[in-house]
Amino acid sequence: MNHFLDIHKTDAAELRGIIDQASAMKQARLGRPKGALDDDQPLAGRMVALIFEKPSTRTRVSFDVGVRQMGGQTMVLSGNDMQLGHGETIADTARVLSRYVDLIMIRTFDESVLLEMADYADVPVINGLTDRTHPCQIMADILTYEEHRGPIKGKKVVWTGDGNNVCASFLHAAGQFGFDVTFTGPQQLDPEEEFVNLARKAGATVTIERDPVKAVEGADLVVADTWVSMHDSQSSKERRHNMLRPYQVNDALMAHAKPDALFMHCLPAHREEEVTSAVMDGPQSVIFDEAENRLHAQKAVMRWCLGV
Ligand code: CP
Ligand code: NVA
């Protein structure tokens, strides 16, 4: 049984296998209606619980559609409507759900909820985002980068803004897929030192550069994310915006990256805040391919979890 909890917790060769399978499965259904079943229906007879303690558009829809395309069934559950963590322990919920479903995907706040779920579930658990990491997003991002530009190994990825959960999973992936990360943002919002050290230990070059123009020099990929994540308090919004404004990704900044650099954003994006519409809708942006690839990447993740 394989949990998919974080990119650094999964073997590099297995991660590569997941990306390759995602790509092959995507090719196999090109041009087919979204609701058409995959020929082999690898999840036939499987029931998947999708638990959300935070809002979601992409994760919710892509997991749901992905399971159905593979012939399985889903139930989408809101954390608020469950006993999760208030009516009973996470461990007990995990044990109970394991009697009904074959796979659990959970989006939650505190990482400890995900880890306790995985510890006590008898079925695989997938991390659909916590306050600390977002591994499914980065699997889709790697698939997207490689579709457009070939192997990500050896490339320079520049993360702009808040060193948040999505940034953390890029750092985890840097070690596993062999690319380098430059973080540019205010010191107060640096990525966790533990994750920076982990990437460095795994052989990736991680650079912290306060000057965004210097940071994007030679970039193959520039990435932005919201300045206020779902776990951040709304009262911090003005302070964060003031700190992060110099790190907006706009045409002037993109001009310092390599001419063929791509722009990515996990979405939802705040137009004219962390990124301008000119960049989001411009020729270097692959944001909607990223969103689509959530579907293909997660289908391969689910197959890997279930060994099917
Ligand atoms: N990128 C992402 O995870 O989007 P949602 O919050 O809409 O799921
Ligand atoms: N950093 C963002 C990502 C959303 C997909 C958040 O956690 O809200």
Q: Is 107 a catalytic residue?
A: yes
- Same domain flag for 244 and 144: yes
- Same domain flag for 34 and 68: yes
Q: Answer whether residue 244 is part of any domain.
A: yes
Within 6 A (CB) of ligand 2 lie 129, 164-166, 225-226, 229-230, 266
Burial label for 259, CB within 10 Å (0-12, 13-18, 19+), is exposed
Residues of the chain with pLDDT under 70: none
Q: Answer whether residue 92 is part of any domain.
A: yes
Please name the residue whose Cα sits nearest to atom 2 of ligand 2. Answer: 229
How far apart (Å, rounded) are the C-alpha atoms in residues 236 and 56? 21
Residue 35 belongs to domain with CATH number: 3.40.50.1370
Within 6 A (CB) of ligand 1 lie 56-59, 129, 137, 266-268
- What's the distance, Cα to Cα, between the start and end of the chain in Å? 11
- Same domain flag for 98 and 226: no
* Active-site option among 8, 294, 296, 303: 294
SS (H, E, C) 173-205: HHHHHCCEEEEECCHHHCCCHHHHHHHHHCCCC
Q: Answer whether residue 2 is part of any domain.
A: no
Six-digit token string for 295: 């579907």
- Same domain flag for 231 and 299: no
How far apart (Å, rounded) are the C-alpha atoms in residues 123 and 129? 18
- Has 200 been labeled as part of a binding site? no
- Same domain flag for 73 and 164: no
The domain tally of the chain equals 2
- Same domain flag for 297 and 217: no
Q: Answer whether residue 299 is part of any domain.
A: yes
- Same domain flag for 248 and 301: no
How far apart (Å, rounded) are the C-alpha atoms in residues 157 and 171? 10
Q: Is 210 a catalytic residue?
A: no
Q: Which stretches of 217-286 are DSSP H helices?
A: 237-244, 251-254, 277-280
Q: Which of 211, 139, 198 is nearest to 171 (CA)?
A: 198
Return the exposure string of 129-140: e unless at least 16 CB atoms fall within 10 Å of the residue's CB, then b.
bbbbbbbbbbbb
Angle between helices 58-69 and 287-306 (to 10 degrees): 50
Q: Answer whether residue 123 is part of any domain.
A: yes
* Active-site option among 8, 102, 162, 266: 266
Q: Is 225 a catalytic residue?
A: yes
Q: In sequence order, what are the residues at sequence separation of 6 or more whose Cβ sits closer than 8 angstroms to the Cβ of residue 179? A: 152, 153, 154, 155, 156, 157, 173, 204
Q: Answer whether residue 62 is part of any domain.
A: yes
Please state, as a whole number, how many other Cβ atoms lie within 10 Å of the Cβ of residue 104: 26
Rounded to the nearest whole angstrom, what is the distance from the C-alpha of residue 15 to the centroid of ligand 1?
Answer: 21
Q: Is 167 a catalytic residue?
A: no
Q: What is the pLDDT of residue 86?
A: 85
What's the DSSP call for residue 155? -
Q: Answer whether residue 192 is part of any domain.
A: yes
Rounded to the nearest whole angstrom, what is the distance from the C-alpha of residue 116 to the centroid of ligand 2?
Answer: 22
Rounded to the nearest whole angstrom, what is the distance from the C-alpha of residue 230 to the centroid of ligand 2?
Answer: 6
Please name the residue whose Cα sits nearest to atom 3 of ligand 1. Answer: 59
DSSP string, 13-74: HHHHHHHHHHHHHHHHTTTS-TTPPPTT-TTTT-EEEEEESS--SHHHHHHHHHHHHTT-EE
- Same domain flag for 80 and 63: yes
Q: What is the pLDDT of residue 1?
A: 85
- Same domain flag for 143 and 282: yes
- Same domain flag for 44 and 180: no
What's the DSSP call for residue 235? G
**pTM as predicted:** 0.98
- Same domain flag for 223 and 205: yes
Q: Is 137 a catalytic residue?
A: yes
- In terms of residue numbers, what domain contains 29? 7-133+291-306
Q: Answer whether residue 1 is part of any domain.
A: no
- Same domain flag for 140 and 128: no
Rounded to the nearest whole angstrom, what is the distance from the C-alpha of residue 52 to the centroid of ligand 2?
Answer: 13
